[in-house]
Structure 1
Amino acid sequence: MSKSKKSEFNPDDFVVYPAHGVGKIVSIEEQEVAGLKLEMFVISFEKDKMTLRVPTARASEIGMRSLASPDLVEKALDTLKGKARVKRAMWSRRAQEYEQKINSGDLMSIAEVVRDLHRNDDQREQSYSERQLYEAALDRLTREVAAVSGLEEGDAQKRVDDVLTSRAA
């Protein structure tokens, strides 16, 4: 390749893709698209049984990023301890905001969604759409906690749950 620009992402790196969460770069390959040779990251999202090809040149502008630092993970977990901030807007507007936060790929925003939608057993029921958004945010957060901490997903889930339940006390 003529451009020997060192990429910030390499095969076997875990990365966060905004719309899909944590994935692993399997390889970097060349692909011909409309007569142009493009270098692509091949990213596997094992849990979703999905593979994504992202042009290396556009990865950053798309918002693909490296895993959060352990410090940021701690900050995100601290966010979970905070008091839920629920705006008085209509649910459809709030749901839209939550979805944007989840798909931003920003760990702090995702933690805020988990915090704001978390329910203790004694609290009112969650609607189906509330539950869906909560689980999507929780899943993203847990996967990144697992990848950063080198934990199995179940252990990361327990860690997140422990923080959420400690908040209730």
Structure 2
Amino acid sequence: MTKKKVLVKKVKLPKKNILKSLKKKEKLISTKDDKINQKSDGLRISKSNEIKPEIKKVKKQETEKREYKVKDYVVYPKHGVGQITEFKKINIGGIDVETYVLKFEKDKANGMVPVNKQAHLRPLATINQVNKCITILKSKPKIKRSMWSRRAQEYESKISSGKIYELAEVVRDLNKGDDIMVDQSYSERQLFEKAYERILSEFQIVMGVSLEDTQKKLDKALKRNSDAQQNTPITSERKTDLQVQSEEPTTEIQE
């Protein structure tokens, strides 16, 4: 028997197709490597091989609640400096709520703030903050040309905020030196006195000096004559803000 020869034809692929397929494979491999590099070490690698750190948004951490103690001085924005006299549980709507009992010596009034609402309170300023306030008082006042009603609202909101630097700005901007009675309207005078009294009472406790010495320091920064101001003493804030009748202390609950 004769053996049949099987002829196998070799198919030649064009070189161009082989090169294209190789290039595609190289691209796929390089893109995979890039992705791996991007994930590693939190770094992004650009085409120019420059390593750039990946910036991630960090969530703001909640500040820890401050624990106040009896006899601590705190600032309640609406009424100024008060002292914690005791912790007291009261029943509100069938729920027992623990509160701070605050005594506002200047206004002859008491107030209550729930412990879980202590965000309404802030600690006294530090000595560094007091020094910065003195610098603000010495700086040039910012005079606005807007209507007085609008400016009065801005000043009132700054005072009600309880922020020490904003209080200093109100005192600085409304200060008229020794001519305060001549150049200021009654409403301007009231706002100035309110902010001045808030700063005065807080500075006195922080600095640990007498009220007279504290006032001299403030008046020196404001370029006011303390002796002349004694003839026109700073009046206390209106007690209607705390709904105080006669001289009896009242209780206010901040829910």
Using the size of structure 2 for normalisation, the TM-score is: 0.60
Consecutive unaligned residues of structure 1, counting only runs of 5 or more, are none
Question: After the TM superposition, which residues 30-41 of structure 1 pair with which residues of structure 2 at under 5 Å, given as runs?
Answer: 30-41=89-100
Letter in 2 for 1:146: Q
Taking only the aligned residue pairs, the percentage that are identical comes to 46
Measure the CA separation in 2 of the matches of 1:56 and 1:41.
Answer: 6
2:149 counterpart residue number: 92
1:128 counterpart residue number: 186
Measure the CA separation in 2 of the matches of 1:6 and 1:116.
Answer: 34
Please, which moves more after superposition, 122-131 or 32-41?
122-131
Letter in 1 for 2:160: N
1:155 counterpart residue number: 213
Shift, 1:114, TM fit: 0.3
Moved over 6 A (4+): none
From 101, 110, 115, the equivalent of 1:51 is: 110
Shift, 1:120, TM fit: 2.0
2:128 counterpart residue number: 71
Letter in 2 for 1:92: S
Letter in 2 for 1:89: S
1:22 counterpart residue number: 81
How many residues of Structure 1 are paired with residues of Structure 2 in the alignment?
A: 160
Please, which moves more after superposition, 99-108 or 156-165?
156-165
Say if 2:162 is the partner of 1:105. Answer: yes
Q: CA RMSD in A?
A: 1.6
Measure the CA separation in 1 of the matches of 2:170 and 2:201.
Answer: 15
Higher strand share: 1
Consecutive unaligned residues of structure 2, counting only runs of 5 or more, are 1-63, 225-255
How far does the alpha carbon of each residue in 1:41-72 deviate from its partner, in whole angstroms, 9 at most, with x for none? Answer: 00000110010000010011x2x100011000
Measure the CA separation in 2 of the matches of 1:78 and 1:6.
Answer: 30
Letter in 2 for 1:34: G
Shift, 1:122, TM fit: 4.7
Measure the CA separation in 2 of the matches of 1:122 and 1:7.
Answer: 43
The structure whose Rg is larger is: 2
Using the size of structure 1 for normalisation, the TM-score is: 0.90
Letter in 1 for 2:70: P
Higher relative contact order (CA 8 A, sep 6+): 1
Measure the CA separation in 2 of the matches of 1:49 and 1:111.
Answer: 25
Shift, 1:19, TM fit: 0.6
Please, which moves more after superposition, 119-128 or 48-57?
119-128
How far does the alpha carbon of each residue in 1:3-41 deviate from its partner, in whole angstroms, 9 at most, with x for none? Answer: xx9852111000000111111011111111111000000
